[in-house]
Structure 1
Amino acid sequence: MGIPSTSCLVIHINWPKHNELGRIPDACLEEAAGLALAIGLEISAKRIVKLRKPSPKTLLGIGSVTELSAEISQYLNQTQKFVVIIISNLNPVQQQNLERTWNCKVIDRTGLILEIFAARAKTREGILQVQLASLTYQRSRLVRSWTHLERQRGGLQFIGGPGETQIESDRRLLSARIRKIERKIKGISRTRKLHRGARKNIPSLIVALVGYTNAGKSTLFNRLTGASVSSSNQLFATLDPTMRKVQLPSKQSVILSDTVGFVSDLPHELINSFHATLEEVKEADIILHIRDAAHPSSDAQYNDVLRVLKELRVEKKPTIEIFNKIDLLENKMILFNRVKRSDGAALAISAKTGEGCENILKMISKQFMFNETKFIYDIPITNGAAVAWLYDRGTVSVYKNKRHSIQLTVNWDEIDAAQFEKKFGNFEAKLTH
């Protein structure tokens, strides 16, 4: 006989601000259920609870708590492995009071996302980041609730005098573990910085894929690079950043970076803990913002991602808006017209079927072309390596044979020009306007 799965009741709190932000309650409830399914929970029921003002003791009003108590008691009679998931952030007192009232485990939104991240993390960095976020979260959960949290005796116990409380002891131990993990993550961050420094010696620009979780970033990443990154239809299927080099139609090489998906009201513990991972977004030259065009709350998800990008201070970077999953739309023309009217760079595609994907690399090329300048080089005919390098890294628009040299007009940016000069010397490049 297999191990029985844990059943759960998923409760989505519908705040008034959600309607103002364009979040559809039913879509939010389905996202909440997706979060529960992502860690293998069996959903017994899903509920939407409207709430205007939070209760300091239980978050939910007394009427909702009482009504849900009867329903939860029925589930507890059927199974011993049952948990209530509340898609909102609970403070420690609220969580404790609900657990006492309902006589079962209660997990809030941050705790649930941490569980998913812990199940998804594969690399050493990802595991450390989840541990850091989890310990930070646990430290905030320390509340006085049991008798063993009374003051411990100091020293050898038979010596008088009060010692530290169990809470203080637990907080001190957690803080020590947090500092230890932070040091390890800083070491990994330094290694990443060295890798980025090494990449800067090779003139490959970076394109970061960002977007709401399950928007199809990894599917698109695989299609553009030929990689096999996990792209299952799950929330937070990708945690650890993956990078691959691809060649643009202009023959310029760029590095594509697949990043962790964002979610509405992303907990600060996660933003802070995954700072090292999100640094790849901060280092990007262009951002591809992948959107789920078929999702009923697509615009709200867009704003949620934009808020995180603002926190990272990268919202002003050149961005291409990618409307994905057009294969799920009944009327694509509405979206196509919207894309045509867009003020910024935008495309409508299906990463699953490939429709429109051929235009992505072309648009990236155009974005980089905006920053390019024409340089004229006189290369000695004996320096074939420099000529080959120019053809490989830039776009050669004019080629002229001279008596002792080859004159090439190359389109690229000033970073490429500086890299070339550092490697081969100054060949009296003349800047033209």
Structure 2
Amino acid sequence: MTIQNDSVAATLGVCDVEFTATDDLQSLREKFARIIVAEMYQFVGLLDVNGMMLESNRASLESVGLRIEDVRGKPFWETRWWSVSPQTQTLLRELIGRASLGEFVRCDFDIYGQAMGEETISIDFSIQPIRNKNGEVIFLLPEGRNITEKKRVEAEIARKNEELRASSELISHQRDELQRLYDKLAEEQRLSERLLLNLLPYPIAQRLKARPEFDADNIPEIIADRFPEVTVLFADLVAFSRFASSMDPERLVSLLNEIFTEFDTLAERHGLEKIKTIGDSYMAAAGLPEPATDHAVRAARMALDMMDALDRVNQRCGYNLQMRIGINSGAVVAGVIGKRKFIYDLWGDAVNIASRMESGGIPGHVQVTEATMQRLGHEFLLKERGSIAAKGLGELRAWFLVRRASPATDGNCASRPIS
């Protein structure tokens, strides 16, 4: 690049540097260097190997109201702008001593700024050894840069980072706490659903939960359905009250729990819905809340298995308990009643007749109505009992469900009178 001396000379003088049209390239470089150094924002100086001030850039002198004559020839650590602690003065002397031996040194320290609002100023300070052609250190080049604002920003960043860290820990703690609460809520919800399913059939429980107005204290509009084809089963332990009168409460409840748990298992296996237990009585129904065409067959299978289950309990416990079971088929109305302790219950003549079949039955037998008998087909062996008097209902024809039919069994055995 060609430097136009005439245009440079036209600038006259800068920082006590005069340009002329006759300046050669070397002269221009030297003058430019003098301007650069003089106008540098940070402090730049020149020391002898003993640390005596030889020169300093103009900007740093003017920033504290000094002239070069005020500091030239003085020890660097004693110059007036270096208003520092005795410890820092000692450090500066040590750094100058190390630099004079050829080491580049650098550190941060604080000075007391006399011309800058009497504030503490942080300096990034270094000393560069300057060598002659023989490699001997003849000058020292100190440089200082005000990093007060940088440190303030760094401190602010550090403070913000600490706040962010604390916030992150708080958020993490809150997230963990929310997770624990969610897990607890989910477990309570699972428990509530299990309890709800213990009280209500699954489809009915789902219908309740799906309603936005449903909550623990308020059952919404009535749930009621009519089923034209179901089979209702009632079972009762004969003379159980007398049997249990001499039994301690814990053993009594344990025995009933053992028996009814067996019945619950059978109800699930054969596809019946347990409706309720009342004392030592058990009620179930087939064909609801999900309709089933083989509802009577399901109930008959369960009734026979219930008798077998009671026999097994007797064998294990040494008892001689007996049971009556009554079954009837027909139409019912089913729905949810109650508010806090609600249940799923059935109503209708079919329910009443099934109850009479049980109460008017014979211990150790399963008694069914003509309506149920007609729906059983040829899978079971039945014996006709004849007509029985049913309280409030008059005379009803009844059959005993004996067992499942074998392949050789007469398919018309349901019409045979009891022998």
Query: What TM-score do you get using the length of structure 2 for normalisation?
Result: 0.21
Larger radius of gyration: 2
Structure with bigger RCO (C-alpha 8 Å, 6+ apart)? 1
The structure carrying a bigger strand percent of its residues is 2
